[in-house]
A = this chain, B = another copy of it.
Amino acid sequence: MMLLYWLADRWLDFKIWRLRRQGLTIADDCDFMSLPDFGSEPYLITIGKHVGIADGVVFITHDGGTHVFRHQERYRKVIKYGRIHVMDNCLLGQRVMIMPGVTIGPNSVIAAGSVVTRTIPPNVLASGNPAKPIMSIEQYAEWSLAATPDYDEAEYKRDKRAFLLKMTRKGGRTQPLKEEA
């Protein structure tokens, strides 16, 4: 089992090495479990330092919508590509899609399932389709801190399952939350 994980990691390393040869810019300390879909022009994508990328994330650097009008003489030469820049210390949630021309961050979180069609400012939590900022990272961090129970780190590390089952018994989350409006 450990060997399988080790082989999967090496395969991921190889894929990233090949994408870099194809022009992808990505910092060494980025964190992902499975390979994102970097699309057909990886050289148009720049990923900064300490970026976390969850499963199923897609980067789209080419707007294929030209398909419906490029056969007209007036639009014959139309091409639509856009660079994508995810700046330092961002987090892209599961199944996030990022459209051509978008810049994100730094220090921004894109919630799972979001479709990012426009540039996202630094230091925000954004979500939705299309993705929009819904709170600042400071609010988000403070909210998360308030929702974290006082706990024993050694206990958490020793038996995460028993710990989380105890911590989340009442209500859904780790603690009743002070919800934002």
Contact = CB atoms under 8 A, between A and B. Distances in A.
Interface of A: 23, 31, 37, 41, 43-44, 52, 54-55, 58, 60, 63-69, 72, 74-75, 77-85, 89-91, 93-95, 97, 99-103, 107-109, 111-115, 117, 119, 125, 127-130, 137, 140-141, 144-145, 147-148, 151, 153, 156, 160-161, 164-165, 167-168, 171-174, 177
Contact of A82 (B72, B99, B101, B168): B168
A18 to B, nearest CB: 12
14 contacts: A41-B160, A41-B161, A54-B64, A67-B91, A72-B141, A75-B141, A77-B151, A78-B145, A81-B174, A83-B172, A97-B113, A101-B177, A113-B129, A117-B127
Contact of A164 (B37, B58, B81, B112): B81
A137 B70 CA distance: 12
Contacts of A107: 68-69
Contacts of A52: 64, 67-68
A68 B91 contact: yes
Given A43-B165, A94-B60, A83 B173 contact: yes
Q: Which of A55, A107, A113, A130 neighbours the largest number of chain B CB atoms within 10 Å of its CB?
A: A113
